[in-house]
Amino acid sequence: MALSLYDTSARTQREFVSIEPGKTGIYLCGATVQAPPHVGHIRSGVAFDVLRRWLIARGYDVTFIRNVTDIDDKIINNGKAQAIPYWLVAMNNERAFTDAYNVLGCLPPTYEPRATGHITEMVTIMQRLIEAGHAYQLNGDVYFDVKSFTKYGNLSGQKPDDMVSSADSEAMGKRDPRDFAMWKSVKPGEPSWPTPFGDGRPGWHIECSAMAHKYLGANFDIHGGGLDLIFPHHENEIAQSQAAGDGFANYWMHNAWVTTAGEKMSKSLGNSLLVSEVVKRIRPVDLRYYLVSVHYRSMLEYSDASVQEAGQAFRRIEGFIARAQEFLGAQAATVEELRPQQFDDAMDDDLSVAQGCAVIHETIRAGNAALTAQNSSDVAAAYGAVLGMLDVLGLHPRDWPKSTGGDDQTTEVIDGLVHALLEQRQDARARKDFEAADAIRDGLDAMGIRIEDTPQGARWTLEQ
Protein backbone atom coordinates (compact mmCIF):
# COMPACT_ATOMS: atom_id res chain seq x y z
CA MET A 1 0.00 0.00 0.00
CA ALA A 2 1.36 3.43 -0.95
CA LEU A 3 1.56 6.21 1.62
CA SER A 4 -1.35 8.61 1.18
CA LEU A 5 -1.85 11.87 3.04
CA TYR A 6 -4.79 14.22 3.30
CA ASP A 7 -3.87 17.38 1.41
CA THR A 8 -5.82 20.41 2.62
CA SER A 9 -5.30 22.21 -0.69
CA ALA A 10 -6.83 19.29 -2.64
CA ARG A 11 -9.38 18.48 0.11
CA THR A 12 -8.74 14.79 -0.36
CA GLN A 13 -6.19 12.09 0.31
CA ARG A 14 -3.60 11.56 -2.36
CA GLU A 15 -0.53 9.42 -2.77
CA PHE A 16 2.60 10.99 -1.33
CA VAL A 17 5.22 11.63 -4.00
CA SER A 18 8.30 13.48 -2.81
CA ILE A 19 9.62 16.28 -5.02
CA GLU A 20 13.12 14.81 -4.63
CA PRO A 21 12.99 11.00 -4.47
CA GLY A 22 14.36 9.59 -1.24
CA LYS A 23 14.23 12.96 0.48
CA THR A 24 11.45 14.93 2.12
CA GLY A 25 11.26 18.56 3.18
CA ILE A 26 8.75 19.51 5.86
CA TYR A 27 8.04 23.03 7.10
CA LEU A 28 5.97 23.26 10.28
CA CYS A 29 4.70 26.58 11.57
CA GLY A 30 6.11 26.61 15.07
CA ALA A 31 5.54 28.73 18.10
CA THR A 32 4.75 32.41 18.34
CA VAL A 33 6.61 32.78 21.60
CA GLN A 34 4.40 35.26 23.42
CA ALA A 35 3.68 32.89 26.34
CA PRO A 36 4.62 29.39 27.52
CA PRO A 37 2.85 26.50 25.77
CA HIS A 38 -0.33 24.78 26.88
CA VAL A 39 -1.40 21.33 25.68
CA GLY A 40 -3.24 22.80 22.70
CA HIS A 41 -0.09 24.50 21.43
CA ILE A 42 2.00 21.36 21.63
CA ARG A 43 -0.34 19.01 19.75
CA SER A 44 0.97 20.24 16.41
CA GLY A 45 4.57 19.47 17.39
CA VAL A 46 3.63 15.95 18.51
CA ALA A 47 1.44 15.21 15.47
CA PHE A 48 4.09 16.23 12.96
CA ASP A 49 6.75 14.41 14.97
CA VAL A 50 4.80 11.21 14.22
CA LEU A 51 4.64 12.14 10.52
CA ARG A 52 8.38 12.70 10.49
CA ARG A 53 9.08 9.40 12.27
CA TRP A 54 6.85 7.53 9.84
CA LEU A 55 8.56 9.03 6.80
CA ILE A 56 11.92 8.05 8.30
CA ALA A 57 10.60 4.52 8.89
CA ARG A 58 9.51 4.44 5.24
CA GLY A 59 13.09 5.22 4.20
CA TYR A 60 12.98 8.97 3.56
CA ASP A 61 15.76 11.38 4.47
CA VAL A 62 13.72 14.08 6.19
CA THR A 63 14.68 17.73 6.58
CA PHE A 64 12.33 19.09 9.23
CA ILE A 65 12.02 22.85 9.75
CA ARG A 66 10.04 24.23 12.69
CA ASN A 67 10.29 28.00 12.92
CA VAL A 68 10.02 30.37 15.86
CA THR A 69 8.07 33.62 15.47
CA ASP A 70 9.99 35.84 17.87
CA ILE A 71 8.60 39.24 16.83
CA ASP A 72 4.88 39.95 17.05
CA ASP A 73 2.41 42.50 18.44
CA LYS A 74 1.63 40.32 21.46
CA ILE A 75 5.30 39.66 22.21
CA ILE A 76 5.97 43.40 22.14
CA ASN A 77 2.92 44.20 24.28
CA ASN A 78 3.78 41.47 26.81
CA GLY A 79 7.27 42.92 27.10
CA LYS A 80 5.82 46.34 27.82
CA ALA A 81 3.40 44.91 30.38
CA GLN A 82 6.25 43.07 32.14
CA ALA A 83 8.68 46.00 31.76
CA ILE A 84 11.23 43.78 30.00
CA PRO A 85 12.59 43.80 26.42
CA TYR A 86 10.51 42.00 23.79
CA TRP A 87 13.43 39.69 23.05
CA LEU A 88 13.52 38.48 26.66
CA VAL A 89 9.83 37.56 26.46
CA ALA A 90 10.58 35.66 23.25
CA MET A 91 13.68 33.94 24.63
CA ASN A 92 12.02 32.78 27.86
CA ASN A 93 9.01 31.38 26.03
CA GLU A 94 11.08 29.78 23.29
CA ARG A 95 12.90 27.87 26.03
CA ALA A 96 9.55 26.85 27.51
CA PHE A 97 8.43 25.50 24.13
CA THR A 98 11.70 23.61 23.69
CA ASP A 99 11.27 22.06 27.14
CA ALA A 100 7.71 21.03 26.24
CA TYR A 101 8.76 19.44 22.94
CA ASN A 102 11.57 17.61 24.73
CA VAL A 103 9.50 16.36 27.65
CA LEU A 104 6.97 14.92 25.19
CA GLY A 105 9.62 13.09 23.20
CA CYS A 106 9.66 15.16 19.99
CA LEU A 107 12.77 14.80 17.86
CA PRO A 108 14.66 18.10 17.57
CA PRO A 109 14.13 19.86 14.22
CA THR A 110 16.82 19.81 11.58
CA TYR A 111 16.80 23.61 11.81
CA GLU A 112 14.75 25.90 14.03
CA PRO A 113 15.07 29.38 12.51
CA ARG A 114 13.92 32.56 14.24
CA ALA A 115 12.06 35.18 12.26
CA THR A 116 14.31 38.04 13.38
CA GLY A 117 17.32 36.27 11.89
CA HIS A 118 15.87 36.32 8.37
CA ILE A 119 15.02 39.95 7.63
CA THR A 120 17.32 39.93 4.57
CA GLU A 121 15.44 36.99 3.03
CA MET A 122 12.11 38.72 3.66
CA VAL A 123 13.32 41.90 1.96
CA THR A 124 14.39 39.88 -1.09
CA ILE A 125 10.93 38.33 -1.50
CA MET A 126 9.19 41.68 -1.03
CA GLN A 127 11.41 43.29 -3.65
CA ARG A 128 10.58 40.50 -6.10
CA LEU A 129 6.87 41.01 -5.42
CA ILE A 130 7.06 44.77 -5.89
CA GLU A 131 8.92 44.34 -9.18
CA ALA A 132 6.31 41.83 -10.38
CA GLY A 133 3.42 44.16 -9.50
CA HIS A 134 2.08 42.00 -6.66
CA ALA A 135 3.06 44.34 -3.82
CA TYR A 136 3.38 48.07 -3.21
CA GLN A 137 4.89 50.50 -0.73
CA LEU A 138 2.76 52.92 1.25
CA ASN A 139 4.10 55.32 3.90
CA GLY A 140 6.90 52.96 4.90
CA ASP A 141 4.67 49.86 4.86
CA VAL A 142 4.68 47.15 2.21
CA TYR A 143 1.39 45.50 1.26
CA PHE A 144 0.53 42.47 -0.82
CA ASP A 145 -2.01 43.21 -3.55
CA VAL A 146 -4.58 40.45 -3.06
CA LYS A 147 -6.45 41.16 -6.31
CA SER A 148 -3.25 40.60 -8.27
CA PHE A 149 -3.15 36.93 -7.30
CA THR A 150 -6.05 35.13 -8.96
CA LYS A 151 -5.66 31.92 -6.92
CA TYR A 152 -6.12 33.72 -3.60
CA GLY A 153 -8.56 31.76 -1.45
CA ASN A 154 -7.98 28.35 -3.04
CA LEU A 155 -6.47 26.78 0.10
CA SER A 156 -9.22 27.89 2.47
CA GLY A 157 -12.01 27.59 -0.08
CA GLN A 158 -13.02 31.19 0.44
CA LYS A 159 -13.97 33.70 -2.25
CA PRO A 160 -12.10 37.00 -2.02
CA ASP A 161 -15.34 38.95 -2.49
CA ASP A 162 -16.73 37.33 0.67
CA MET A 163 -13.67 38.02 2.81
CA VAL A 164 -13.63 40.63 5.54
CA SER A 165 -11.00 43.34 5.61
CA SER A 166 -7.59 42.57 7.11
CA ALA A 167 -6.83 43.74 10.64
CA ASP A 168 -4.82 46.73 9.41
CA SER A 169 -7.51 47.98 7.01
CA GLU A 170 -7.63 51.31 8.82
CA ALA A 171 -4.38 52.24 7.09
CA MET A 172 -5.40 54.93 4.62
CA GLY A 173 -4.51 54.54 0.98
CA LYS A 174 -4.45 50.76 0.65
CA ARG A 175 -5.54 49.62 -2.79
CA ASP A 176 -7.92 47.14 -1.25
CA PRO A 177 -8.97 46.65 2.40
CA ARG A 178 -8.06 42.95 2.12
CA ASP A 179 -4.44 43.69 1.25
CA PHE A 180 -2.19 42.52 4.07
CA ALA A 181 1.00 44.01 5.45
CA MET A 182 4.30 42.28 4.78
CA TRP A 183 6.35 45.11 6.29
CA LYS A 184 5.23 47.51 9.03
CA SER A 185 6.85 50.91 9.43
CA VAL A 186 8.54 51.71 12.72
CA LYS A 187 6.44 52.87 15.67
CA PRO A 188 7.81 54.77 18.67
CA GLY A 189 9.24 52.46 21.33
CA GLU A 190 9.06 49.33 19.17
CA PRO A 191 11.92 47.26 17.70
CA SER A 192 12.84 47.90 14.09
CA TRP A 193 15.27 46.89 11.36
CA PRO A 194 16.63 49.01 8.48
CA THR A 195 15.44 48.07 4.97
CA PRO A 196 15.11 49.74 1.55
CA PHE A 197 11.47 50.41 2.50
CA GLY A 198 12.44 52.21 5.69
CA ASP A 199 12.88 51.11 9.29
CA GLY A 200 10.25 48.73 10.61
CA ARG A 201 9.47 45.12 11.34
CA PRO A 202 8.03 42.20 9.39
CA GLY A 203 4.45 41.01 9.18
CA TRP A 204 3.72 37.49 10.31
CA HIS A 205 3.09 35.89 6.92
CA ILE A 206 6.25 37.01 5.12
CA GLU A 207 8.37 35.45 7.87
CA CYS A 208 7.36 31.87 7.03
CA SER A 209 7.61 32.37 3.28
CA ALA A 210 11.18 33.58 3.73
CA MET A 211 12.27 30.86 6.16
CA ALA A 212 10.67 28.03 4.17
CA HIS A 213 12.44 29.22 1.01
CA LYS A 214 15.74 29.65 2.85
CA TYR A 215 15.92 26.12 4.23
CA LEU A 216 13.82 24.05 1.81
CA GLY A 217 14.05 25.93 -1.48
CA ALA A 218 11.41 27.26 -3.85
CA ASN A 219 9.61 23.88 -3.97
CA PHE A 220 9.27 21.44 -1.10
CA ASP A 221 7.05 18.60 -0.03
CA ILE A 222 4.92 19.28 3.04
CA HIS A 223 3.80 22.40 4.89
CA GLY A 224 2.05 21.77 8.20
CA GLY A 225 0.39 23.56 11.05
CA GLY A 226 -2.77 23.86 13.08
CA LEU A 227 -6.21 24.05 11.53
CA ASP A 228 -6.54 27.67 12.66
CA LEU A 229 -3.61 28.69 10.41
CA ILE A 230 -5.30 27.86 7.10
CA PHE A 231 -6.66 31.38 6.85
CA PRO A 232 -5.23 33.89 6.73
CA HIS A 233 -1.69 32.74 7.51
CA HIS A 234 -1.21 29.85 5.11
CA GLU A 235 -3.37 31.44 2.44
CA ASN A 236 -1.13 34.50 2.58
CA GLU A 237 2.05 32.44 2.54
CA ILE A 238 0.94 30.76 -0.69
CA ALA A 239 0.03 34.08 -2.27
CA GLN A 240 3.37 35.72 -1.43
CA SER A 241 5.53 32.78 -2.39
CA GLN A 242 3.80 31.78 -5.60
CA ALA A 243 3.35 35.38 -6.76
CA ALA A 244 7.11 35.77 -6.28
CA GLY A 245 7.64 32.83 -8.64
CA ASP A 246 8.08 29.93 -6.21
CA GLY A 247 6.13 26.68 -6.36
CA PHE A 248 6.12 26.45 -2.57
CA ALA A 249 4.57 23.40 -0.81
CA ASN A 250 3.30 20.32 -2.63
CA TYR A 251 1.10 19.11 0.27
CA TRP A 252 -0.66 21.05 3.02
CA MET A 253 -1.46 19.19 6.25
CA HIS A 254 -3.31 20.58 9.27
CA ASN A 255 -3.91 19.10 12.70
CA ALA A 256 -7.16 19.73 14.56
CA TRP A 257 -7.46 21.62 17.82
CA VAL A 258 -7.38 20.48 21.41
CA THR A 259 -10.55 21.70 23.08
CA THR A 260 -11.87 22.01 26.63
CA ALA A 261 -15.60 22.10 27.29
CA GLY A 262 -16.11 22.26 23.52
CA GLU A 263 -14.03 25.42 23.07
CA LYS A 264 -10.60 25.74 21.50
CA MET A 265 -7.95 25.61 24.21
CA SER A 266 -6.55 29.07 24.88
CA LYS A 267 -4.27 30.86 27.31
CA SER A 268 -7.29 32.30 29.13
CA LEU A 269 -8.11 28.85 30.48
CA GLY A 270 -5.38 29.22 33.07
CA ASN A 271 -1.95 27.94 33.92
CA SER A 272 -3.17 24.47 34.93
CA LEU A 273 -3.11 23.46 31.25
CA LEU A 274 0.44 24.62 30.63
CA VAL A 275 2.56 21.63 29.59
CA SER A 276 4.98 22.39 32.43
CA GLU A 277 2.12 22.04 34.94
CA VAL A 278 0.32 19.10 33.35
CA VAL A 279 3.46 16.91 33.43
CA LYS A 280 3.73 17.48 37.18
CA ARG A 281 0.52 15.52 37.71
CA ILE A 282 0.54 13.27 34.62
CA ARG A 283 3.39 11.20 33.23
CA PRO A 284 4.73 12.81 30.04
CA VAL A 285 4.63 9.46 28.23
CA ASP A 286 0.91 9.15 29.07
CA LEU A 287 0.28 12.64 27.72
CA ARG A 288 2.12 11.81 24.49
CA TYR A 289 0.16 8.56 24.11
CA TYR A 290 -3.07 10.50 24.63
CA LEU A 291 -2.12 13.07 21.97
CA VAL A 292 -0.93 10.59 19.33
CA SER A 293 -3.59 7.90 19.76
CA VAL A 294 -6.29 10.07 18.17
CA HIS A 295 -6.14 10.89 14.45
CA TYR A 296 -4.33 14.16 13.90
CA ARG A 297 -7.30 15.64 12.00
CA SER A 298 -9.78 14.83 14.79
CA MET A 299 -10.67 17.32 17.50
CA LEU A 300 -9.42 16.24 20.91
CA GLU A 301 -11.37 17.10 24.07
CA TYR A 302 -8.87 17.50 26.90
CA SER A 303 -9.35 16.57 30.54
CA ASP A 304 -6.99 15.10 33.11
CA ALA A 305 -9.37 12.16 33.43
CA SER A 306 -9.17 11.35 29.70
CA VAL A 307 -5.37 11.53 29.80
CA GLN A 308 -5.30 9.24 32.84
CA GLU A 309 -7.58 6.79 31.01
CA ALA A 310 -5.15 6.81 28.09
CA GLY A 311 -2.37 6.26 30.61
CA GLN A 312 -4.06 3.09 31.84
CA ALA A 313 -4.10 1.78 28.27
CA PHE A 314 -0.42 2.60 27.90
CA ARG A 315 0.38 0.84 31.17
CA ARG A 316 -1.02 -2.34 29.65
CA ILE A 317 1.55 -1.92 26.90
CA GLU A 318 4.30 -1.32 29.46
CA GLY A 319 3.13 -4.33 31.47
CA PHE A 320 3.46 -6.65 28.50
CA ILE A 321 6.92 -5.27 27.69
CA ALA A 322 8.10 -5.85 31.24
CA ARG A 323 6.71 -9.41 31.34
CA ALA A 324 8.20 -10.24 27.95
CA GLN A 325 11.61 -8.89 29.01
CA GLU A 326 11.56 -10.99 32.17
CA PHE A 327 10.52 -14.09 30.23
CA LEU A 328 13.04 -13.63 27.40
CA GLY A 329 15.95 -12.57 29.60
CA ALA A 330 19.10 -11.81 27.61
CA GLN A 331 17.30 -12.74 24.38
CA ALA A 332 15.18 -9.58 24.69
CA ALA A 333 18.13 -7.40 23.71
CA THR A 334 18.56 -9.22 20.38
CA VAL A 335 14.92 -9.44 19.27
CA GLU A 336 14.32 -7.96 15.82
CA GLU A 337 11.77 -5.15 15.82
CA LEU A 338 9.50 -6.05 12.91
CA ARG A 339 6.23 -4.12 12.55
CA PRO A 340 3.08 -6.01 11.46
CA GLN A 341 1.85 -5.19 7.97
CA GLN A 342 -1.53 -4.15 9.42
CA PHE A 343 0.19 -1.40 11.38
CA ASP A 344 2.09 -0.15 8.33
CA ASP A 345 -1.13 -0.14 6.30
CA ALA A 346 -2.83 1.95 8.98
CA MET A 347 0.00 4.47 9.07
CA ASP A 348 0.07 4.65 5.26
CA ASP A 349 -3.61 5.58 5.38
CA ASP A 350 -3.09 9.24 6.34
CA LEU A 351 -1.38 8.35 9.64
CA SER A 352 -4.32 6.40 11.09
CA VAL A 353 -2.66 6.03 14.48
CA ALA A 354 -5.89 4.93 16.19
CA GLN A 355 -5.97 1.87 13.91
CA GLY A 356 -2.26 1.40 14.53
CA CYS A 357 -2.83 1.41 18.30
CA ALA A 358 -5.52 -1.25 17.84
CA VAL A 359 -2.88 -3.41 16.14
CA ILE A 360 -0.53 -2.82 19.10
CA HIS A 361 -3.13 -4.04 21.59
CA GLU A 362 -4.05 -7.03 19.39
CA THR A 363 -0.38 -7.96 19.29
CA ILE A 364 -0.15 -7.66 23.06
CA ARG A 365 -3.12 -9.99 23.50
CA ALA A 366 -1.36 -12.56 21.33
CA GLY A 367 1.85 -11.97 23.25
CA ASN A 368 0.14 -12.51 26.60
CA ALA A 369 -1.31 -15.78 25.32
CA ALA A 370 2.19 -16.82 24.26
CA LEU A 371 3.51 -15.94 27.72
CA THR A 372 0.86 -18.15 29.30
CA ALA A 373 1.80 -20.97 26.93
CA GLN A 374 5.52 -20.35 27.60
CA ASN A 375 6.10 -20.10 23.82
CA SER A 376 9.36 -18.17 23.56
CA SER A 377 9.32 -17.69 19.77
CA ASP A 378 5.83 -16.18 19.80
CA VAL A 379 6.65 -14.01 22.81
CA ALA A 380 9.75 -12.71 21.02
CA ALA A 381 7.78 -11.99 17.85
CA ALA A 382 5.10 -10.06 19.71
CA TYR A 383 7.67 -8.20 21.81
CA GLY A 384 9.66 -7.13 18.74
CA ALA A 385 6.52 -6.09 16.88
CA VAL A 386 5.31 -3.93 19.77
CA LEU A 387 8.69 -2.21 20.08
CA GLY A 388 8.79 -1.53 16.35
CA MET A 389 5.34 0.06 16.41
CA LEU A 390 6.08 2.13 19.51
CA ASP A 391 9.24 3.45 17.88
CA VAL A 392 7.19 5.00 15.07
CA LEU A 393 4.93 6.71 17.62
CA GLY A 394 7.82 8.04 19.69
CA LEU A 395 6.91 5.73 22.58
CA HIS A 396 9.77 3.22 22.51
CA PRO A 397 10.72 2.33 26.12
CA ARG A 398 14.39 3.17 25.51
CA ASP A 399 13.35 6.83 25.15
CA TRP A 400 11.32 7.07 28.36
CA PRO A 401 11.99 6.54 32.08
CA LYS A 402 10.52 3.43 33.65
CA SER A 403 6.94 3.62 34.88
CA THR A 404 8.13 3.85 38.48
CA GLY A 405 9.15 7.45 37.71
CA GLY A 406 11.58 9.64 39.60
CA ASP A 407 15.33 9.82 39.32
CA ASP A 408 17.53 6.73 39.30
CA GLN A 409 18.52 7.00 42.96
CA THR A 410 14.93 7.40 44.16
CA THR A 411 13.79 4.52 41.97
CA GLU A 412 16.55 2.31 43.35
CA VAL A 413 15.53 3.08 46.95
CA ILE A 414 11.83 2.42 46.23
CA ASP A 415 12.70 -0.80 44.43
CA GLY A 416 14.73 -2.02 47.41
CA LEU A 417 11.97 -1.24 49.92
CA VAL A 418 9.23 -2.81 47.80
CA HIS A 419 11.24 -5.96 47.23
CA ALA A 420 11.85 -6.26 50.97
CA LEU A 421 8.08 -6.17 51.52
CA LEU A 422 7.54 -8.62 48.69
CA GLU A 423 9.95 -11.04 50.35
CA GLN A 424 7.95 -10.73 53.58
CA ARG A 425 4.77 -11.35 51.59
CA GLN A 426 6.31 -14.43 49.98
CA ASP A 427 7.40 -15.74 53.38
CA ALA A 428 3.86 -15.21 54.71
CA ARG A 429 2.39 -17.11 51.79
CA ALA A 430 4.91 -19.93 52.25
CA ARG A 431 3.76 -20.40 55.87
CA LYS A 432 0.12 -20.07 54.68
CA ASP A 433 -0.42 -16.82 56.57
CA PHE A 434 -2.56 -15.42 53.77
CA GLU A 435 -4.02 -12.70 55.96
CA ALA A 436 -0.55 -11.20 56.46
CA ALA A 437 0.30 -11.61 52.78
CA ASP A 438 -2.91 -9.83 51.75
CA ALA A 439 -2.25 -7.06 54.26
CA ILE A 440 1.15 -6.37 52.70
CA ARG A 441 -0.36 -6.31 49.22
CA ASP A 442 -3.22 -4.03 50.33
CA GLY A 443 -0.78 -1.69 52.04
CA LEU A 444 1.31 -1.37 48.90
CA ASP A 445 -1.86 -0.90 46.82
CA ALA A 446 -2.96 1.95 49.08
CA MET A 447 0.33 3.71 48.31
CA GLY A 448 -0.24 3.31 44.56
CA ILE A 449 2.11 0.35 44.15
CA ARG A 450 0.48 -2.36 42.07
CA ILE A 451 1.65 -5.95 42.52
CA GLU A 452 1.40 -8.53 39.74
CA ASP A 453 2.19 -12.18 40.33
CA THR A 454 3.91 -13.74 37.30
CA PRO A 455 5.53 -17.13 36.65
CA GLN A 456 8.85 -15.36 37.17
CA GLY A 457 7.76 -13.95 40.53
CA ALA A 458 6.00 -10.84 41.79
CA ARG A 459 6.64 -7.55 39.97
CA TRP A 460 5.51 -4.03 40.82
CA THR A 461 4.60 -0.79 39.12
CA LEU A 462 3.95 2.65 40.55
CA GLU A 463 0.64 4.25 39.62
CA GLN A 464 0.73 8.02 39.17
Strand partners, 223: 27, 252
For residue 405, the model assigns a pLDDT of: 37
Share of the chain above pLDDT 70, in %: 90
- Nearest-CA neighbor of 315 among 214, 234, 403, 439? 403
Q: What is the pLDDT of residues 194-207, one digit of tens each?
A: 999 999 999 999 99
Strand pairing of 300-301 and 258-260? parallel
| pLDDT higher than 60, residue 226 | yes
Task: Write down the CATH number for the domain with range 304-399.
Answer: 1.20.120
Q: Could you state, in order of their start, the residue ranges of all structural domains in the chain?
A: 21-115+256-302, 304-399, 408-462
Q: Which segment of 75-79, 399-403, 458-462 scores lowest on mean pLDDT? A: 458-462
The phi and psi torsions of 251 (rounded to 5 degrees) equal: -130, 145
Q: Which segment of 177-181, 336-340, 459-463 scores lowest on mean pLDDT? A: 459-463
Confidence of residue 164 (pLDDT cuts 50, 70, 90): low
Residue 350 near residue 4 (C-beta atoms within 8 A):
yes
Q: What is the pLDDT of residues 11-60, one digit of tens each?
A: 999 999 999 999 999 999 999 999 999 999 999 999 999 999 999 999 99
Q: What is the pLDDT of residues 352-405, one digit of tens each?
A: 999 999 999 999 999 999 999 999 999 999 999 999 999 999 999 999 965 433
| pLDDT higher than 60, residue 169 | no
CA distance 449 to 463: 6
Strand partners, 65: 27, 111
Confidence of residue 269 (pLDDT cuts 50, 70, 90): low
- The reply to whether omega before 232 is within 30° of 0 (cis) is yes
CA angle 67, 234, 177 (to 5 degrees): 125
Residue 293 near residue 340 (C-beta atoms within 8 A):
no
For residue 55, the model assigns a pLDDT of: 98
Instruction: Name the CATH superfamily housing domain 21-115+256-302.
Output: HUPs (3.40.50.620)
Residue 300 near residue 263 (C-beta atoms within 8 A):
no
CA angle 58, 61, 62 (to 5 degrees): 100
Q: Which segment of 77-86, 259-268, 273-282 scores lowest on mean pLDDT? A: 259-268
Strand pairing of 12-15 and 23-28? unpaired
CA distance 421 to 14: 58
Q: For 166-317, where are the E strands, in sequence order?
A: 180-185, 200-202, 219-226, 248-255, 258-260, 263-264, 300-301
Residue 366 near residue 378 (C-beta atoms within 8 A):
yes
404 or 91: which carries more pLDDT confidence? Answer: 91
- Nearest-CA neighbor of 463 among 281, 290, 321, 326? 281
Strand partners, 27: 65, 223
Confidence of residue 443 (pLDDT cuts 50, 70, 90): confident
| 21-115+256-302 shares its CATH topology with 304-399 | no
For residue 453, the model assigns a pLDDT of: 75
Residue type, 351: L
The mean pLDDT value for 297-305 works out to 94
H helix runs in 58-143, sequence order: 73-82, 86-103, 119-131
Residue 207 near residue 128 (C-beta atoms within 8 A):
no
Residue 160 near residue 199 (C-beta atoms within 8 A):
no
